[in-house]
Amino acid sequence: MTAGPGVAEAPEEAEAPEARLARAVRAAEQALIEFEIAVETFRVEVENFSRLHHQRLGPMYARLDELDALIAEARAAHTGDPEDLRLAREARALVMPMPGVDELFHDWIDSDGLSPEAAAMLNEQPVQAPRRVRPSDEARKLYRELVRKAHPDLAAEEAERKRREEFLTRVNAAYARGDEARLRQLSEEWEAGPAPAEPALGEAEELYARLEWLAQRKEMLTAVARELEDSAIGAMLRMAPDDPDRLLDEVAEQLLARTSEREAELASLTASPYPPQERE
């Protein structure tokens, strides 16, 4: 109701400094959670693309290294030149050595015995390539919702923080596998659990300390994100974020062309009619 003539309206009550600070802390917490989600999503994408890159292109790079070593050795055998011999030794040293026993059996044996890939190899059956792991849009949506709801930074007590940390460990594992069904189960589990407690606001000093911690956490995540972006795989992924398979196809074509050139060069060297020169 509007005050009558000559009656001064009561001034609006000023917001307390602690209330403004508390609001800033909540905003910083939410911003940090969103940033963590983005960094973790990119980390999973880099990890998956790295595995695919190694799986598909690793043998091609190994073949190129082997061809380079064979070419250098063939050239050294023809010339007998000390410099060619040195280059041949260096090229051979770059070729990946045979793995040890532990490396050979890495991921072959688990709690259930031989993995399907190992069993297929031992029985001379075709080995299925590892399943492509790329979280679906629904999996990404579920993951983001779960992290926003269950993030440990929203806990007021240590026991609740630990419960959230354990829960998010399972969420992260399911997301890394692209397991949409498991993420949906975890979402239902969270909704059925105890309601998340509202963060308790303390005195101004505590709020300032909280803001400082959030700033430090953001700096750490920024460093992690920069490291991922600056990595070779991260740079490749940024070149084709919506279609990384196309990028792999392009690199594979380039490697095949280089391999053909190396094989032709090696064939030319090994078919040369000139006998190796004797060293003086």
Q: Are 207 and 22 in contact (CB under 8 A)?
A: yes
pTM of the model: 0.52
Write b or e for each residue in 163-172: b if 16 or more Cβ atoms lie within 10 A of its Cβ, otherwise e: bbeebbeebb
**Sign of the CA dihedral 131, 137, 138, 139?**
positive
d(CA 5, CA 8): 8
C-beta of residue 176 within 8 angstroms of C-beta of residue 47: yes
Which H/E stretch holds residue 89?
Answer: helix 82-94
Helix, coil or strand: residue 137: helix
Tell me the CA end-to-end span of the chain in Å, nearest whole number.
Answer: 112
pLDDT, position 122: 46
Residue with tokens 């994408």, as numbered in its chain = 45
Q: What is the pLDDT of residues 34-77, one digit of tens each?
A: 888 888 888 888 888 888 888 888 888 888 898 899 999 999 98
Per-residue pLDDT, averaged over 98-116, amounts to 45
Rounded Cα distance, 39 and 225, in Å: 6
| Average pLDDT value for residue range 93-105 | 54
pLDDT value for 8: 52
- Give residue 104's Cα distance to chain centre: 24
